[in-house]
Structure 1
Amino acid sequence: MLNRRYSVLVSGKRYSSEFQTDQQYARSWKIILEKAYGTHAICQCPSNGSRKLSIKRREDSDGFHLARFAGTGHEHSNECRYYAPAPERSGMQGYAAGVVEEGEDGSIRVRLARGIRVQDPRSEGCESDSVKRSAGKSKPAMTLLGLLHLLWSESRLSTWYPAMEGKRNSSIVNYALLQAAERVSASRMKLSEVLLLAAQKDSKGAARNQAIAKSALSRDLRLVSISPLARYSPERHSEHMSRLPIAGPFGMPMLNLPSTVWATAARRFERELSAWRRGSRVISIAQFTQRKGDSFLQGDVVELALMQVSERWIPVDSDYEGVIEGKLHAAGRSFDKPLRYDADESEVFPDFWLLDTGKDFPLEVFGMSTPAYLERKDIKTAWYNREYGGEGWWSWNAAVDPKGKNIPPFPPKS
């Protein structure tokens, strides 16, 4: 079970998860936290870390709450609500200092390559150019794809446990993304203030989208939409689409897709678009500026990024990864997909982490046989052997076994 609330120690006394949440104990819990304010609590999740928790005042009331200390998320167990992966376990390691900053209240501040405020001079630059200028170095800002990866990771949508079977759908995904967006800020505002999510007709989500869009128009703010692409149709989705084809567009402005933006996206996300045309679920994240003075809301997309996900909404970076994700699910395994963000290819981290072997176990899929890739494979193999030992990691060489007839067995559960 993800985002589990464990007992905590406050002033040396243990308080159960029920005591922290049941309404009958709300007044007593508030008094306890108020008396301990200025000290810290300790989470009792099963982990060897210090697991200290800060006691914080709520901004919108006279209450108190607990939050993990900045940079300590990895000290908690993976199931714990205070958990966050260490940067070196994913592409988060590829950012320069200051691009992603975690607050003591659990909030996250990010520096986007294109700002949210239209009048921000820095925001007029090209997101992808910002990354290209620093290829091979720590990235000076987060791209739109990096932002999508951040929200997916913070929402714990990149993690799967067998107990989730049948419990992850579009409504759950949207709720998790919106909760994460409440904690992520950019351009000195919460991302939730400019985030539109897929919604059905006449739903609360559609009404929320419409209200967010109208508010952003009056404040000169760019909007960000996250939605699966609509089911591919050869008749409607030509090579030169003029509108972004998203599922659940209700309440959103009509998204016009300039040819230059589409051409850039088609080049950068050729693999994802190919998967979409074959029927796979692909998530879009678009940043757009609304047009003023029109009789109905519409906007012009200025940046577009895509991400393929499995039936369980787990991101996959190749069809071979999709095969492994499916086999892990069929085997009833618990696993996590570390995301690349904007990291350079030189950064090393696994394709998956197994979470049910006693200690997190790295899985790697080798998918090509070009000279450059084989050189890279040797580097990664040496790194894995050095970090985990020859028996401490798993790999499948899909380049010599493309039909998956000889996929090695996964390490056993603990």
Structure 2
Amino acid sequence: MYVARLMEGYTVKRMPNTGSQHATSCPSYEPPAEFSGLGQLVGTAIVENPATGETALKLDFPMTKLPGRSTLPAAASASSSVASQGPKLGLRALLHYLWDQAELTHWKPGFAGRRTWGTVRKHLLQAAENKFTHGHALLASLYIPEVFSVEQREAITTRRLRQWARAQPKPGQPQPLMLLVAEVKEIVPSRYGHKAILKHIPDQAFALDEPLYRRLGRCFEQELSAWGTDGDLHLLMIATFRVDDAAVPGLVELSLMLATAQWLPVEDGWEKQLVGALVRSGRSFIKGLRYNEAPDQPLVAASLLDCGDAPRPLLITRDRGQSEHMPPDFMAQTIRGDTPLWQWNPADGDMPGLPPQQHRQLTTPLP
């Protein structure tokens, strides 16, 4: 750990890339970066400066729109958000990074019933502090809707429009884009094109043009289908959006992410089943995220923290031959000593039993 000077004060921070060296019971513990898609981004797309405590983020999508140019082609925007490659953060990877930094991937039995949208919003905004991209503070461009209240409706609207004012177009200058993180309520036809209705913003829809709407259905068919048929799932949207002269927002690029009732991210029904079993069993764990990695890359779905001093990775292999072609460095990270790797291939049968909990022994007796 180290002490960083931030603005007018000081804070204790973890040294970069040392989270896995902490004990699993330590609040500063993080699984090895190789367990998730974070590994290929640390030090390239994500660069933390211990001297200042600030983190520079390299994005593969623009945060400005040149005057006279139309919205980015849907073919480019949606596809790059879904499977962006290389040492930069795509939209999905940025959402995963913020979720990780906000520790919304962490779960302990004591969290049950305490994680609401207000809590999610608070931790995401804290996670965005001291993060910079394109030379500007990420927090200044980040809009996350407040919990809606009828009594506070006018005050909430005023604060929203005040923040959006920085993104209104100015003659002859590139238009800044805002970054949105919100829960989707519905995506429906409008009088002209389509619109996204977001929870906690009942009085303001976000416009989607027809090409972006069609691309949305093709690129996110799995997420939209699961969300449409499972009432327990949240559908999160991260997007860049522009604001016109009338303060009407229009989406430019977007990506989607599923989350359980506990706001734990999941890719599909198999991960939802695993995460649900862990929550019901009262386990402590950290959910793994894909970031920029392709769907066929092996990743740790979750890391158990209650199996002794080392994490116990849980792996879902969706293809029959995937486990036979895992990179050696990935296998070296996930297999510790003589402990066998826990893995589940849904095509082969039911989910195997979870590794047993190991209660730590106190080294000194309590007084």
Aligned to 2:11: 65
Matches within 5 A, 1:293-372: 294=246, 297-345=247-295, 347-358=297-308, 359-367=310-318
Aligned to 2:364: none
173 and 207 in structure 1: CA distance in 2 versus 1, 3 angstrom threshold: farther
Mapped to 2, the partners of 1:130 and 1:229 lie a distance apart of 21
Q: Once the 2 structures are TM-superposed, how far is the Cα of residue 115 of structure 1 from its aligned partner? A: 2.4
Pick one of 137, 141, 163 that aligns with 1:212: 163
Q: Secondary structure at the match of 1:229?
A: strand
Matches within 5 A, 1:110-129: 110-119=57-66, 126-127=76-77
378 and 281 in structure 1: CA distance in 2 versus 1, 3 angstrom threshold: same
Mapped to 2, the partners of 1:217 and 1:274 lie a distance apart of 35
Deviation string, structure 1 residues 22-44 (Cα, Å, up to 9, x no partner): xxxxxxxxxxxxxxxxxxxxxxx
Total equivalences in the alignment:
339
Asked if 1 retains the 8 angstrom alpha-carbon contact of 2:81 and 2:254, the reply is no
Mapped to 1, the partners of 2:277 and 2:120 lie a distance apart of 22
Amino acid at match of 1:349: L
118 and 96 in structure 1: CA distance in 2 versus 1, 3 angstrom threshold: farther
Runs of 5+ consecutive residues of structure 2 not aligned to the other structure: 359-367
Matches within 5 A, 1:127-138: 127=77
- In the alignment, does 2:243 pair up with 1:243? no
Runs of 5+ consecutive residues of structure 1 not aligned to the other structure: 1-51, 368-372
- In the alignment, does 2:180 pair up with 1:225? yes
288 and 73 in structure 1: CA distance in 2 versus 1, 3 angstrom threshold: same
Aligned to 1:408: 352
Aligned to 1:38: none
Mapped to 1, the partners of 2:80 and 2:100 lie a distance apart of 23
Q: Once the 2 structures are TM-superposed, how far is the Cα of residue 184 of structure 1 from its aligned partner? A: 2.1
134 and 254 in structure 1: CA distance in 2 versus 1, 3 angstrom threshold: closer
Q: Once the 2 structures are TM-superposed, how far is the Cα of residue 271 of structure 1 from its aligned partner? A: 0.9
Aligned to 1:197: 144
Asked if 2 retains the 8 angstrom alpha-carbon contact of 1:354 and 1:360, the reply is yes
Q: Once the 2 structures are TM-superposed, how far is the Cα of residue 129 of structure 1 from its aligned partner? A: 6.1
223 and 98 in structure 1: CA distance in 2 versus 1, 3 angstrom threshold: same
Larger-Rg structure: 1
CA RMSD of aligned residues (A): 3.1
Amino acid at match of 1:330: R
The farther-off stretch of 183-192 and 377-386 is 377-386
Matches within 5 A, 1:242-261: 242-249=194-201, 254-261=205-212
Q: Once the 2 structures are TM-superposed, how far is the Cα of residue 108 of structure 1 from its aligned partner? A: 2.1
Aligned to 1:275: 226
- Kindly indicate which of the two structures has a greater share of residues assigned to strand: 2
Q: Once the 2 structures are TM-superposed, how far is the Cα of residue 116 of structure 1 from its aligned partner? A: 1.7
Q: Once the 2 structures are TM-superposed, how far is the Cα of residue 357 of structure 1 from its aligned partner? A: 0.3
- In the alignment, does 2:62 pair up with 1:107? no
Deviation string, structure 1 residues 245-296 (Cα, Å, up to 9, x no partner): 2111268x6411112222222222111100121122111111111112x2xx
Compute the TM-score of the two structures, normalised by the length of structure 1: 0.73
73 and 265 in structure 1: CA distance in 2 versus 1, 3 angstrom threshold: same
328 and 314 in structure 1: CA distance in 2 versus 1, 3 angstrom threshold: same
Aligned to 1:185: 132
Q: Once the 2 structures are TM-superposed, how far is the Cα of residue 344 of structure 1 from its aligned partner? A: 3.3
Aligned to 2:363: none
Q: Once the 2 structures are TM-superposed, how far is the Cα of residue 82 of structure 1 from its aligned partner? A: 4.3
Matches within 5 A, 1:167-178: 167-178=114-125
72 and 400 in structure 1: CA distance in 2 versus 1, 3 angstrom threshold: closer
Q: Secondary structure at the match of 1:93?
A: coil
187 and 336 in structure 1: CA distance in 2 versus 1, 3 angstrom threshold: same
Mapped to 1, the partners of 2:302 and 2:240 lie a distance apart of 29
Q: Secondary structure at the match of 2:265?
A: coil
Mapped to 2, the partners of 1:156 and 1:249 lie a distance apart of 25
Mapped to 1, the partners of 2:200 and 2:158 lie a distance apart of 12
Deviation string, structure 1 residues 309-354 (Cα, Å, up to 9, x no partner): 1111111111011111111111100111111100235643311111
Asked if 2 retains the 8 angstrom alpha-carbon contact of 1:95 and 1:343, the reply is no
Aligned to 1:370: none
Compute the TM-score of the two structures, normalised by the length of structure 2: 0.81
Deviation string, structure 1 residues 157-211 (Cα, Å, up to 9, x no partner): 0111001111111100000011111132212122211111133143666544322
Amino acid at match of 2:109: P
Aligned to 1:395: 343
Q: Once the 2 structures are TM-superposed, how far is the Cα of residue 376 of structure 1 from its aligned partner? A: 2.1
Mapped to 2, the partners of 1:272 and 1:134 lie a distance apart of 17
Q: Once the 2 structures are TM-superposed, how far is the Cα of residue 299 of structure 1 from its aligned partner? A: 2.0
Asked if 2 retains the 8 angstrom alpha-carbon contact of 1:308 and 1:317, the reply is yes
Asked if 1 retains the 8 angstrom alpha-carbon contact of 2:193 and 2:207, the reply is no
Matches within 5 A, 1:26-41: none
Aligned to 1:374: 320
- In the alignment, does 2:210 pair up with 1:264? no
Asked if 2 retains the 8 angstrom alpha-carbon contact of 1:116 and 1:186, the reply is no
